[in-house]
Each structure stands twice: as structure tokens, then as C-alpha cells.
Chains A and B, each alone.
Chain A
């Protein structure tokens, strides 16, 4: 299945517009993410960050524009959420959503890369391989001691980490991470930045974040969204020096 355009990019957005009742949430948005890249997306409230994530993951259909994945191989505007997830795009929500009445381990088990259709799932059994993968994940997200706790009982920060762990369990080619450090302490924020950098060694990552200190910590290319389109792009120092970005953020 060849996409209409050929591109080297892992994720390719061009001319994407979405409107709700006349309000333009996205306006001719263009964005390129290279394979292996980590990108930070910043922008004030209502800039269209979450809508952009919705479009990429198939939750919202754009009115116009191209959304292509994996070198233009897949047209994401035609696929549903589950298919996009199976193609290798994982998403962490702004508000941490884990399966609260499941244990931490079951949360990760559900996310583990495995056949997703009904009957294989019905007959699935625990294997040694699965256990090894789980152990590895617990080591990464440091929730080993909470293994059999109900996820609903975790602290806010722990839930954020569990969700990142679930993302990793899916082993996606591209991770979309929405405000991963909201509500975290400084120490947790620092650790999360380190975690994301580690993840980025093997995965492409798009991070949406408000927290400028955190974005600086990541030290990656930054895209500034405003009113549904790209306002500026570059290193954190470049974009903070951009006059328009300053105006948008300070409301001048």
C-alpha cells in the first residue's frame, strides 16, 4: 500500500486542517518527524497540540491534509485507532489513563506486543518470554515493587510512569507523549527526561509539553504551535529568541 507521496520521514503531516463548529483547531499544519528523532512540541493552550495527536492516532479525522506514516507507506487518515496502534504509534495521554482495576503487571501485560485479535487473546497463556519482557519493563519504569498493586492505587507520578511503561511494552516505532511531567516533582521531572532520552535511543518520540525547563532538559529540536499551525521551529534557544514566540507566550 503506497501512500500518495513519497517521503523519508517517519511521520509526515502536510496541510492538515480540522475545525469544530467553525473553530479552526488545526490550520494547514505541516510537520516532519525523521526516523529516530525526538521532537518537543510546545504551544499555549488551544494551539492544537492535543488535536494534532488525535489526528495522528486516528481519533479525529482531518477535514483536509495528508497524514502519512513510515516513509509514506500508510495514510493514517484512513485507519482506525487500533490499526494505527498496531502499525507502531503509541500514545500517552495528557491525563494519565491506566486501567485502574487491573494490577500494574496486568496493565503492562495488556500493552505487551502480542496478537491483538479476539481468539488469540482468549487462549493466550503466560510464557517465560513474556515474563522476561515484563521484568525488563519493570526495571525501566522502576515499578517492580508495585507489581501486584491495583493501578488505581498508584500515585500520580507512578501512573505517568506506568503509562510510559505501557507505551514501551507496545514497542512502537513512534511514541507520542502528551505532557508527561504534568504534576511531577522536579526530581521526577528530571528522571522522566532521562527516561525519554533513553527511550529515544531505540524509538522515535514526539513530546508535547508546557514545561520549558523540561524541554530544555531534553535538548532536542522544538516546534512551536500557535492557532493550529507551526509558528517556529529550531533549538530551544532559537525559538525562545523568536520575537513572535515571545509575543504569543507573553500575550503582547
Chain B
């Protein structure tokens, strides 16, 4: 029934988007696994990983768009939720290494043996169990978002103040995760993963599967976001974005709505991070860097905030440009990224989909 209700609200562009992502989820693994190398249709292993990363970024962008594009909360700390999800998955992957580590300790990950620790810290308990880790990848970012949001929204910290606070939070987390005694691998983070649910992380089939899962997660995230923004609650979110005080005077408890969407968004970002880590094979404190979070914001801005497809599209476009430029002319990338921030805010405030979408697809902005 929900599917039915949702399907009724989809525009042409959105159906095209779903078809495209679903198509990728099937075709990319097929082209990677069944086509011989050298064939025109073959997709290389590196490309599968690259696409997989983009899917995760797209999901992160989607989550950010949900809070920023629809509710006006510019979070500069979504990278923290992404990284926390990633760490939860990374901890599972570390624990499954078991005796195959350099020190061959069945319980303790290598870095703990190296630090001369005798016992597993309680924060690492149960992370040898995939289900628990997956749950934590969602719960931990969600809980952080809940606590942060509960304080911030209740005291009506809005606008740039909220942005600065979220940035400070991710910065503080970065500092914390750099510390060895936090027990999350310090500087080096978590890496050298062996397998996930018994499958080798490095194996071609595992990578193809992870890509397909990331694409599916993106679709799932899209469906959830779409369900939210096209409900009456979605109307309230936009009302809060455009006229917060007015919304309050009509009787909506703005802080509850913000908290809801912030937590949902953080969970989505956590899932994206959890899928990202096994594909790139490492998670370290630099994922918490404030620059990462703000870069995700520009994906959304480029694609078009307040349009779900735009956010996902923006993430892929900007990252494709990044991949190409950092390889072709590395020094230019940061200039290009800087220019992108400036030009998009000045000349394309509604982003690509927001500006051109209505012409191309008859798409209405912010719906």
C-alpha cells in the first residue's frame, strides 16, 4: 500500500532515476563478472569500486538534502554520521580478521596488540556479530543526531549557528578519534580487512555485490526520503524551512519535526558510511574532517537542494569531476571545487535539477 501511494506521487524524472539506479545495480556487476577483460562491455574492478563509492556518496547527499533542502538545516557535520556508520562496519571487519592479523591475536585487533592492550574495550563487544554491527551503524549516528538535535532544536539554535555547531561536533570527533586511547585505531584508523560475512572483501564477486547493495541502499534511501517529503510531514518541513516562526504559531512543534528528520537523515548517512568502508577498505579519522562534510553540501547544492534526484545526481557529478581532474590536472581540482562553491551559490542557487529540471521533466522545484 505504501508502495502504491508512493508510486502515485512519482514524476517522470523520478521514475527515470529509479530505473537508472536499478539498471546500474544489475548491469554493472554483470558487466564486471561475465564480460571478458578487454571487451568493450567489460567494467573493470576499479570502476566497480569507484561507482560503489559514488552510490554511497549519493546516499549521503540524499540524507543531507533531506535536512537542508527540505527543512533548512544546513548540517556541516553529516560527514560525522557517515564516518560513525563506517567505523561501526570497520569494527566488524576488524574483528572478523581474527588470527589472520599480523600478531595473530584471535580477539584483539592488531593495533590493540601493538599498543600492548590486554583486553578488548567494552566498546568493541559484540562487533564480531554482523547484525549488531549493522544495527550500530544506524543507531550510533542516529543517537548522536538525537542528542545533538534534542539540545539544539529545543534551544532554537538555527541557521548558521547550527551549522557552526555541527561543524564543531565533527571537528571534536575527529580530534577524539585521532587519539589512540579512544580505542579506534587512532591516526591509522581501521584497515587490512579480510572478509565480510565469510566472503573475501577483495574478491571480485564481493565487490560487485557490495556495489549492487549500495545501489539498492540508494534506492531505499530515495524511497524513504520521497515518502517523507511527499507526506503532509513533508509540507510541514518545507513550511519550517520557509517560515519557521509561522509554522510554530500554527501549532506545530518545530523542534520535534526537525529532530525527526535530522535523526532519519543521520541514520541514512550512517548506512552510506557502513557500505562505503568495505568497498574502500579503510576508515580513519580524516573522514570526520569538516572539509568532507562541507564538500558533501556542495554536491547537494550543485544537483539542486530540495530535489532528491538532484542531490544524488550532484554527488555523482562532482565526484566524477573530482576523479577525472585529480588524475588529469591535480593542482586544478581545489580551484575548481572552490569555484564550484562560489558559482553555484551565486548563479545556480537551485542547482542543476532545480533550475533546469522543470524545463526538462516538467519537474516542480521543492516538491
Chain A residues within CB distance 8 Å of chain B: 57, 59, 80-82, 85-86, 90-91, 93, 97-102, 106, 109-111, 116-118, 121-124, 166, 170
Contact = CB atoms under 8 A, between A and B. Distances in A.
Contacts, number: 82
B154 to A, nearest CB: 10
Given A101-B242, A110-B236, A118-B256, A124 B231 contact: yes
A170 B232 contact: no
Contacts of A59: 245
Interface residues of B, number: 25
Interface string B241-280: 0110111111111101100100000000000000000000
Contacts of B228: 122
Contact of B252 (A82, A122, A124): A82
Most buried by A among B249, B254, B366: B249
Contacts of A109: 232, 235
Contact of B238 (A82, A90, A99): A99
B20 interface: no
A91 B247 CA distance: 11
Nearest to A101: B366
B344 interface: no
Contacts of A91: 249
Contacts of A111: 250
A146 B236 CA distance: 21
B65 to A, nearest CB: 15
Contacts of A123: 231
A106 B235 contact: yes
B233 interface: yes
A93 B238 CA distance: 19
Contacts of B260: 118, 122
Given A118-B260, A122-B228, 6 more contacts: A81-B248, A90-B250, A97-B246, A110-B232, A117-B253, A121-B257
B253 A122 contact: no
A82 B236 contact: no
A167 to B, nearest CB: 9
Contacts of A116: 251-253
A81 B244 CA distance: 11
A142 B239 CA distance: 23
B222 to A, nearest CB: 17
Contact of B246 (A99, A122, A124): A99
A97 B243 contact: yes
A203 to B, nearest CB: 16
24 contacts: A57-B249, A59-B245, A81-B245, A85-B250, A90-B249, A97-B246, A98-B243, A99-B246, A100-B242, A100-B243, A106-B235, A109-B235, A110-B232, A110-B235, A110-B236, A110-B247, A111-B250, A116-B252, A121-B233, A121-B236, A122-B233, A122-B260, A166-B250, A170-B250
A122 B249 contact: no
Contact of A99 (B243, B251, B253, B365): B243
B248 A101 contact: no
